């Protein structure tokens, strides 16, 4: 799981990244617990992307499209997102974003549809270079399936059918720390071992990259930050006798 040090590194990294690249971001998605996830996903896409080609990227449970728009500002990408809660204001913001990109001659484009996970995959024939998950799979089907949820079981068993050869799945999600099994907030070891069991290769687990300049600027400050895991209380009635942590990982399969 990510630690307090990772949380502050992520916040500093992501704020500087947004300022340098003129990326607008709503405050609701820039609080410390969210920015770890946002920064990890954006950073991993940056590390995996080849700037000389256009990438097809899918954003699972994209919400307002905030992460997709940030990725699009930084990469040559065609982004598709879906969420059951896509609002009229979200569609307007995406339209403005695409228009601004066109005027700025930025080839990236974001498209967002209203859909559930299963409905989207039932009706798409497209394959993607990168699929990202910002804690959406954890909540999409929480019925138990052995040591994980049915939502995660479906993703583990089927997602490679929607990835291009050499494609990557990037996820950052909440996990529980209680000893008893909870089918919504899984334990980190159970989730990662299930991916490995089905032949996925995992990398960059809970790893925040940081450049030398940032490391120098933060070194004295971070020495004062405790090394414990970044933990918080879950929503009421969702996790008995436990707290939540955050993990991040990149998964791929050999074709």
3-state secondary structure 23-70: CCCCHHHCCHHHHHHHHHHHHHHHHHCCCCCCEEEEEECCCCCHHHHH
**Mean of the per-residue pLDDT values for the chain?**
88
Which of 19-23, 80-84, 209-213 is most confident? 80-84
**Average pLDDT for 239-245:** 77
State which residues form the domain around 34. 4-252
**Average pLDDT for 24-31:** 76
Q: Is the pLDDT of residue 5 over 80?
A: yes
pLDDT of residue 237: 65
pLDDT of residue 172: 97
Whether 13 and 37 have beta carbons less than 8 Å apart is answered as no
Around Cβ 207, how many Cβ atoms within 10 Å?
15
pLDDT of residue 241: 64
Report CA 177 to chain centroid distance, whole Å: 20
Give residue-wise pLDDT tens across range 202-217: 999 999 877 777 677 7
pLDDT of residue 13: 86
The count of structural domains within the chain is 1
pLDDT of residue 255: 59
**Average pLDDT for 136-154:** 90
Strands (E), 136-215: 144-145, 148-149, 163-176, 201-203
Q: Residue 227's domain is classified under what CATH number? A: 3.40.50.150
CA pair distance 80, 53, nearest whole angstrom: 17
């Amino acid at each position: 799981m990510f630690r307090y040090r990772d949380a502050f590194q992520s916040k500093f990294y992501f704020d500087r990244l947004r300022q340098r690249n003129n990326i607008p971001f709503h405050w609701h998605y820039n609080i410390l617990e969210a920015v770890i996830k946002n920064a990890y996903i954006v950073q991993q896409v940056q590390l995996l992307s080849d700037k000389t080609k256009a990438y097809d990227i899918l954003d699972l449970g994209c919400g307002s499209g905030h992460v997709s728009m940030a990725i699009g500002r930084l990469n040559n990408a065609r982004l598709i997102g879906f969420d059951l809660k896509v609002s009229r204001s979200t569609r307007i913001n995406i339209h403005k974003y695409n228009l601004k990109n066109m005027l700025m001659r930025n080839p990236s484009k974001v498209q967002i549809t209203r859909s559930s996970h299963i409905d989207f995959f039932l009706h798409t024939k497209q394959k993607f270079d990168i699929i990202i998950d910002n804690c959406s799979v954890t909540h999409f089907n929480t019925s138990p399936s052995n040591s994980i949820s049915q939502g995660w079981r479906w993703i583990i068993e089927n997602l490679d059918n929607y990835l291009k050869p050499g494609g990557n799945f990037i996820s950052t999600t909440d996990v529980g720390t209680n000893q008893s099994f909870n089918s919504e907030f899984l334990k980190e070891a159970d989730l990662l071992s299930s991916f490995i069991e089905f032949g996925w290769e995992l990398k960059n687990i809970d790893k925040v990259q940081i450049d030398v300049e940032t490391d120098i600027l933060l070194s004295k400050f971070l020495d004062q930050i405790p090394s414990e895991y970044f933990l918080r209380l879950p929503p009421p009635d969702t996790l008995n006798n436990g707290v939540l942590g955050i993990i991040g990982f990149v998964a791929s399969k050999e074709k």
